[in-house]
Amino acid sequence: MHDIPKMAQRQLADYRRRQPGTLFADQDLSLDAATAYHLQDAVTALRIKEGDIVTGYKVGCTGPGTRSQFGMYGPIRGTLFAGEVRRNDCRLPQKSFCHLAVEGEMAIKIAGDGQIIAAFPVIELHNFVFRSQPKTLSELIANNDINAGIILPGDNWQTATDLIDDNANLSVHVNGVELGCDSLWPTAGGPAASLHWLKAHLDDFDIALRVGQIVLAGTNLGLYPVQAGDRVEVAVNGQPAVSCTVV
């Protein structure tokens, strides 16, 4: 009963003007999860038409940090875009986001046979805003899991395979202060379990993973709001791996 193409146009326009998800301030809006995914995919189609490229996906709401923060249980899927991939030690203009928050997370890279060929830490960027009260999983899905991009580590990390089955820990530091630290992988079975869920989920929507795409496999840590002047680092076993400065 929803006009998905019209809603997608509004969603993308709101995202572009850094006021995402105003659709969900409408009190009469009610979406089930499947419809929310169709809306997310309709926005993706518009972005592809504009020239952007899907560079991968994220598996969200998997760990205790985000579950307790949002009061929601996943897993859910979001879409990653090449135009929002940034490099290690980049400078992030705060005005380019809506309530910028960061998350330390592990990512994996996919080979031609759908297997994992690398595992590495990233900083995930978020527009940390919800419009509906109370918060709903459908809003989170339709707003692309509030993803606003990722920051990749250096090349030496992006080719690593030793973290796939590793028992190391992942930590987030802002201005030298550790805000959270936990194991790398939030689900039993590690990244393979997240990838298995994602493949099955995408199949339901006639979407296939492609060679070289990145998958964010979830995190045990929460989201941390940041502001201009903040220095963010994500570390593995205390070793800095990826960083940014908010300006």
Residue-level pLDDT at 167: 84
| Domain that residue 66 falls in | 54-246
For 207, the token pair is 């979407």
Cis? peptide before 134, omega within 30° of 0: yes
What is the distance between the alpha carbons of residues 29 and 136, in angstroms, rounded to a whole number?
11
CA separation for the pair 194, 169 (Å, rounded): 18
Residue 5: the pLDDT is 97
7 in a domain, yes or no?
no
Domain count, the chain: 1
> How many other CB atoms are found less than 10 A from the CB of residue 99?
17
Amino acid 116: pLDDT:
92
- Answer yes or no: is 96 within a domain: yes
Residue 86's beta-bridge partner residues? Answer: 151
Q: Is residue 33 part of a domain?
A: no
Residue 38 lies in a domain: no
On whether residue 127 sits in a domain, the answer given is yes
- Domain-located, residue 43: no
Residue 11: inside a domain: no
The helix/strand/coil state of 25 is: helix
Instruction: Say what the pLDDT of residue 113 is.
Output: 76
* Domain presence at residue 233: yes
Q: How far is residue 78's CA from residue 127's CA, in Å, rounded to a whole number?
A: 13
Q: Return the pLDDT at 157.
A: 86
Per-residue b/e over 107-139, b at no fewer than 16 CB within 10 Å? bbbbeeeeebebbbbbbbbbbbbbbbeeebbbb
The strands making up 231-236's β-sheet, listed across from edge to edge, are 90-92, 239-246, 231-236, 169-174, 177-183
Report the CATH number at residue 146: 3.90.850.10
Strands 214-216 and 100-110: antiparallel
Tens of each residue's pLDDT in the chain, 247 residues: 789 999 999 999 999 999 999 999 986 788 888 999 999 999 999 999 999 999 999 998 775 655 555 555 568 999 999 999 999 999 999 999 999 999 999 999 998 777 899 999 999 999 999 998 888 888 999 999 999 999 999 988 888 888 888 889 999 999 999 999 999 998 888 899 999 999 999 999 999 999 999 999 999 998 999 999 999 999 999 999 999 999 9
Query: Which pLDDT does position 74 carry in this prediction?
Result: 62
**CA pair distance 54, 99, nearest whole angstrom:** 24
CA 2 to chain centre: 26
**Chain centroid offset of residue 154 CA:** 19
Whether the pTM exceeds 0.75: the reply is yes
